Amino acid sequence: MTSIATAAATPTAPSQIDTLSLEGLNPADPQWFVDDTIGNLLRRLRLEDPVHRSHSPVPGIGDYWSVTRYRDIMQVEMHPAIYSSDWSVGGISLMDFPPGEQQLQMFIAMDPPRHDEQRKAVSPIAAQGNLDGWEGLIRERTCKVLDSLPRGETFDWVDRVSIELTSMMLATLFDFPQEERRRLTHWSDLATSNKLTNPDAPEPEVRMAGLREMLGCFMKLWNERVNAPPRADLVSMLAHSPATRNMTPLEFMGNLVLLIVGGNDTTRNTMTGGLLALLQHPGQMKKLRADPSLIGSMVTEVIRWQTPLAYMRRTATQDTELGGKQIRKGDKLALWYLSANRDEAMIPQPDEFIIDRPMPRLHLSFGFGIHRCVGNRIADLQLRILWEELLRRGTEIELMGEPKRVRSSFVHGFSQMPVRIVS
Ligand code: HEM
């Protein structure tokens, strides 16, 4: 089997990060992500001020606590009554909604008991029987996508592979028409866009019009399925469960956004980040090719390495203490999973990409506690099959330029990655 060509490793901490004043430092500035210096910044906070009073000049974000140590994040996740996810106190993103504006309601941004009831309605989607049933279908599609890639010419891995495969899967999860699957990608991109932090993002009216179009389209599917016998797709599950069948349109829209973004951006960026990591670590690629039984632990390592959702927000419901800092009722906290996954106090050699780590599952990429990812096994399955088929073909890929990173401090990913298949 041939080896995949190498690319330069990501540069280490630019020297100015080590000398910046910590006061009011703002890891939620998307520029750190575009420049790929966020890891250096978070390391400094983790080592010097692990529960840090951060400040963003963006209206609607303002002051927040940056929680960067693994153990402190676990402490927060284990106490959802003290640290709320509920949309009514701010939800899961650092950006507050302007007063009076309607906020999308989704169960990731709800506290118990409503959270638990709505989660239960859709969690059977990842049941073992479904995963087994999809395996052949995912493999067939993966083969088709890989076999259709151009040879010897540059193409965008994000568009041709990562988006293509994840949008197909998403269409399957919703039983949405496959030929219209790119609409799901479009809605997912709209839902996560934000004009306040990204000047290139669509105007708020355009965003809302797109989401309304999504709602209209899914309302049709809902109406078809609510009167039909229950089936194993997400729309049918929402339409038939006692916890979700009487949702308001805003809740339906919110949960659609959750399921579309949850199943889309995250897996997509892990598909891209995984290839990049292996191209940047040729020794690990060689090890993988020599022993494909390492694919399972490699996929887990890639999910840690990429951490496709950089943080989740919580809001304190009472005065409390965390990591020696006094947290006041109403304070918001960013749980930086991206930092926890590089925490030297928990993870041996955290800055090394090691596909056969002894404890690969020691990471917080899927969160922890009552909100832990519903779709983690679906993501695992897609990633495993992609790598099985790439290895089986002995595909040799080379990086043809710097990947372009998404301008967001929430979604940690790539909008483009030019590559070429050498053979
Ligand atoms: C929740 C990450 C794939 C659906 C979460 C959370 C994280 C996460 C960090 C926790 C949020 C919190 O603590 O507030 C990821 C990553 C993925 C992935 C890294 C892929 C590598 C998927 C897929 C689906 C999905 C394929 C499919 C539908 C969800 C849902 C929740 C969730 C519905 C909300 C759970 C709750 O609030 O109880 N995910 N996810 N995710 N994820 Fe994923």
0.95 surpassed by complex ipTM? yes
Tell me the range of 202-206, 249-253, 373-377 where mean pLDDT is highest. Answer: 373-377
Residue 64, pLDDT > 90, answer: yes
Q: Whose CA is nearest to atom 21 of ligand 1?
A: 267
Average pLDDT estimate for 33-50: 96
The continuous run of DSSP H or E covering 416 comes out as: strand 414-416
310 Cα–ligand 1 center, Å: 12
Q: Tell me the pLDDT tens digit for each residue of 113-130.
A: 999 999 999 999 999 999
Beta pairing partners, 354: none
Ligand 1 pocket residue status of 312, Cβ below 6 Å: yes
Report d(CA 413, CA 171) in Å as an integer: 21
Ligand 1 pocket residue status of 373, Cβ below 6 Å: yes
274 Cα–ligand 1 center, Å: 18
**What are phi and psi for residue 258, nearest 5 degrees?**
-55, -50
Look-up of token digits 């279908």: 137
Q: Whose CA is nearest to atom 5 of ligand 1?
A: 373
DSSP-derived letter for residue 330 is: T
Average pLDDT estimate for 321-348: 98
CATH class of the domain whose range is 15-180+267-421: mainly alpha
Report d(CA 297, CA 360) in Å as an integer: 6
Average pLDDT estimate for 407-422: 95
State whether residue 411 is helix, strand or coil: strand
**Residue 14: per-residue pLDDT:** 59
- Give the CB-side neighbour count of residue 322, counting CA atoms within 13 A: 36
Report d(CA 126, CA 124) in Å as an integer: 5
Beta pairing partners, 66: 52, 334
Residue 99, pLDDT > 80, answer: no
**Residue 10: per-residue pLDDT:** 38
Report d(CA 212, CA 197) in Å as an integer: 22
Ligand 1 pocket residue status of 279, Cβ below 6 Å: no
Ligand 1 pocket residue status of 408, Cβ below 6 Å: no
Q: Whose CA is nearest to atom 32 of ligand 1?
A: 373
Beta pairing partners, 416: 404
Q: Tell me the pLDDT tens digit for each residue of 181-190.
A: 999 999 988 8
Q: Whose CA is nearest to atom 2 of ligand 1?
A: 366
Ligand 1 pocket residue status of 406, Cβ below 6 Å: no
Which of the four pLDDT bands, split at 50, 70 and 90, describes residue 193?
confident
Average pLDDT estimate for 241-262: 90
Asked if omega into 348 is within 30° of 0 (cis), the reply is no
**Residue 24: per-residue pLDDT:** 82
Q: Are 308 and 270 in contact (CB under 8 A)?
A: yes
Q: Tell me the pLDDT tens digit for each residue of 12-41.
A: 355 688 888 899 899 999 999 999 999 999
Q: DSSP for 68-100?
A: --HHHHHHHHT-TTTEE--GGGTTTSSSPPPTT
Residue 183 CA, chain-centre distance (Å), reads: 19
Q: Tell me the pLDDT tens digit for each residue of 271-297.
A: 999 999 999 999 999 999 999 999 999
- The whole-chain average pLDDT of the chain stands at 92
What percentage of the chain has pLDDT greater than the value 90?
A: 82
Report d(CA 169, CA 386) in Å as an integer: 13
